[in-house]
Structure 1
């Protein structure tokens, strides 16, 4: 059942993301040509600032969701109701805190937004703030769907609302060039989207509307408090690592540089989001697995996810390394390129961060929050120190080098340490040997793909398509040749065959049209 739910969620998620991706390119193109690179930079900057405010959430949601896995698996409605009551109250308080913090930053915007020729900055910021605060009022119910492995419902509604939002916003940009109206439409659809999902949860799980009787036991309370304290530190550290890039670039370089980087970041985030549709939709299945299965069973599934993790992230990193600059050049012009060095740094960072996905999923779903609570803060200190020094010496690439150094110096080692010691009870060198094996294969495959791709000059769309074909065929051919005999590959291949057979059976049941009449 876990596999079935995961596959449904993954299929819906990937389908949704492909549609959103196509619309995003069209929307971004219209955005650049109607408003310009400064508005693009402002969009990225305010997104980062409000991500900082969202630290008020402080991991309360993650901790309570973790405590929901067991009662949901046991169908313990009484405990579910008590936890959901707590969850709702927590997010109401969070929404208020984020709103007040957001308003308190208004006097300082003029010092953060550097060299920007943009009107109505304060109004734009307030609309961003509204769009950040509102979803918190409905988050407790949306999270319950995810815990119940019904992510595909959330994804489906999000898909429809995103498509509608994209078309409306593209029309507004094209006909009015009004950025504030563009943001207001986004906010209105976000609020409507949240209301619809709340109504669906009420209909699917009517018992959630019942009044919770009783209170949490002392063990659950102490675990939530301990985990919240740990996740507060982790979230602050994560923001200081990933959420301050645009702020540093805006402060030390320019808001236009944030706009240039935002195009690369958009393409990288599209690839990461597509891949994460696989892992995010497996996340709650892994949580259910950790709560109910043996260590050996969890470890065997983890090895499968690690191979899948390597395959997808290395494939995406190779494809972007070969194609990202030719694509941007054809898409919006050569003046939006940032150089090969930045591409290399971004791709190595993308790969390293992606390769931690499978081990981090086990860590989080196993409830390992307290043990590594200081790790993100240490990483953040390293990242900020290197980024702030290097950005002043070598420019924008210094920001990304600082992020990469901090990742290799800290979580690269610590995350597997805690998982292998507390969950798998196995020697840590097993992880690093497997990681090294995969990485050597990945870099060799990248060299081979880049060499073959260099014979194709991507000056036209068709030549770019041919280059893309090389990026798909060469790595996959190498990986199949190397991994097809492994247990992990056979496991994944067996699921794919099962899906194809299921699809074939369904197609056979579809009645043929009656053409005799």
Structure 2
């Protein structure tokens, strides 16, 4: 790996981690104040609306893999005309998608308030949808093409910096407005104004550092498989939003709120794991564009091990500590007891862990541009989730939708792993099962070894103390298991960590 790629990878990873940590912190703070000042029903309403409007994320990720995949080769070759034509094509496509999204928002404003009319009147809900949609639309639509260009060029850290600043600013101002007695509508409107600033700054940076010709004409479509990418992300978006939508339709806003609080924590851990992959997609895409097959296999195998190992460690700890955290987090809320659902917490932790384990396989498949080839499985995943969740939600509630999510995610990770091994990186299936065995043994030993620790706590200080002890024990055990199964990777990672500590201490 050349030095410049290493620098970009470090920058992307560092800023991604910073952004995800800030996302987790801010994600804990704001819902807590909404729960305290507006109640569970309003928090459930905001969470539900956000999930329904989350389909707008189609604008970011619908071609968020296809556009970078198209850009890797022209960026590697410094083909400015090709880069410009791809950017222009993407901008035209997003204008079309934007019109569809506006129609969707209008339909949501017309019909969604009827789903919650027993708790909120039409005007309250419809106006809140309109306001929240501005915020989400600003984040996912305006300037998205430039964000994807930076991602493909291994400069995603620029986007992370802008996103981090606006995220912190939004949290500080929102909390202040809530404490000063402003309505939820005012709070969300101010958020929308803040998030509109994101694309403004990205546009300035791109125009200053890239020689794009936005007037360029082209005959042949420069972005291949765009509709296959859209189909895949539409399926992915449905998968992400299925649980909340089913709970909104067939359960209560309280259950939506409970789901939202747990998902906030568990998904925050997913974001932390994902932050470690920032830059990997562009790095692997660059290797594929340069046909560096031997180096690609070596990078992938270590990437796979890192993702499996960290996911197993982080989500085992999450599964052990999430309920005690929620217990402290909801202290003082009138219906706090309804938020203690251990079975749901366990299943969702495993389900999101499966999503994280899927990441290395998905990154390579997308970087290789295999969207059409894997489209069917992407559609099957949410179909499985919906079918199982709808059947089970009536009897098992939150646990029912969690089971649907788990089964569908296990299917998808198995499919992608075997597709990758047969069609892109030709490695033996035995290596995948060896990794799953190491994951399973690590998780079992970690859970068994800390089962004697009392995790019933009533304050953040006590929770932090217990978390430190459990994390230390689980960390040592996870390292031990991986020294047995993956001695080379484990020892090299330990040495790298020690060397960094020594260099840091010597400064």
8 Å CA contact 1:453–1:470 kept in 2: the answer is: no
The aligned counterpart of 1:93 is 96
Shift of 1:398: 0.7
8 Å CA contact 2:138–2:196 kept in 1: the answer is: yes
In the alignment, structure 1 residue 29 sits paired with structure 2 residue 27: no
8 Å CA contact 2:110–2:126 kept in 1: the answer is: no
Structure 1 residue matching 2:65: 3-state secondary structure: helix
Is the alpha carbon distance of 1:29 and 1:101 closer, same or farther for their aligned partners in structure 2, counting shifts above 3 Å? closer
Deviations 1:463-517 (A, max 9, x none): 3222101221112111222334622234444554565566567x3xxxxxxxxxx
Greater Cα shift, 413-422 or 484-493: 484-493
Take 1:137 and 1:464, find their aligned partners in 2: how far apart are those partners?
41
8 Å CA contact 1:10–1:281 kept in 2: the answer is: yes
Shift of 1:95: 1.4
Take 2:117 and 2:489, find their aligned partners in 1: how far apart are those partners?
51
The aligned counterpart of 1:453 is 453
Shift of 1:172: 0.8
In the alignment, structure 1 residue 102 sits paired with structure 2 residue 105: yes
Take 1:397 and 1:211, find their aligned partners in 2: how far apart are those partners?
50
Take 2:158 and 2:502, find their aligned partners in 1: how far apart are those partners?
25
Shift of 1:305: 1.4
Take 1:58 and 1:479, find their aligned partners in 2: how far apart are those partners?
34
Take 1:60 and 1:260, find their aligned partners in 2: how far apart are those partners?
32
Task: Choose which of 354, 365, 379 in structure 1 pairs with 2:381.
Answer: 379
The aligned counterpart of 1:468 is 467
Deviations 1:199-241 (A, max 9, x none): 1221122x12x3454526x5x64xx44x223223322322332
Deviations 1:274-301 (A, max 9, x none): 1211113322222222322533321221
The aligned counterpart of 1:332 is 330
Q: CA RMSD in A?
A: 2.3
Take 2:60 and 2:23, find their aligned partners in 1: how far apart are those partners?
27
Structure 2 residue matching 1:367: 3-state secondary structure: coil
Take 1:23 and 1:53, find their aligned partners in 2: how far apart are those partners?
22
The aligned counterpart of 1:315 is 313
Is the alpha carbon distance of 1:353 and 1:293 closer, same or farther for their aligned partners in structure 2, counting shifts above 3 Å? same
Task: Choose which of 350, 362, 365 in structure 1 pairs with 2:364.
Answer: 362
In the alignment, structure 1 residue 47 sits paired with structure 2 residue 50: yes
8 Å CA contact 1:387–1:400 kept in 2: the answer is: yes
8 Å CA contact 2:259–2:398 kept in 1: the answer is: no
8 Å CA contact 1:349–1:404 kept in 2: the answer is: yes
The aligned counterpart of 1:126 is 130
The aligned counterpart of 1:427 is 428
8 Å CA contact 1:54–1:98 kept in 2: the answer is: no
In the alignment, structure 1 residue 250 sits paired with structure 2 residue 248: yes
Correspondence 1:404-415 to 2 at 5 A: 404-408=406-410, 410-415=411-416
Take 2:408 and 2:30, find their aligned partners in 1: how far apart are those partners?
34
Structure 1 residue matching 2:43: 3-state secondary structure: helix
The aligned counterpart of 2:200 is 195
8 Å CA contact 1:12–1:156 kept in 2: the answer is: yes
Is the alpha carbon distance of 1:256 and 1:346 closer, same or farther for their aligned partners in structure 2, counting shifts above 3 Å? same
Take 2:81 and 2:163, find their aligned partners in 1: how far apart are those partners?
30
Greater Cα shift, 280-289 or 365-374: 280-289
Structure 2 portions without partners, runs of 5+? none
Structure 1 residue matching 2:276: 3-state secondary structure: helix
8 Å CA contact 2:20–2:271 kept in 1: the answer is: yes
- Tell me the TM-score normalized by structure 1: 0.90
Count, aligned residues: 496
In the alignment, structure 1 residue 64 sits paired with structure 2 residue 86: no
Structure 1 portions without partners, runs of 5+? 508-517
Take 1:366 and 1:501, find their aligned partners in 2: how far apart are those partners?
39
Shift of 1:362: 1.2
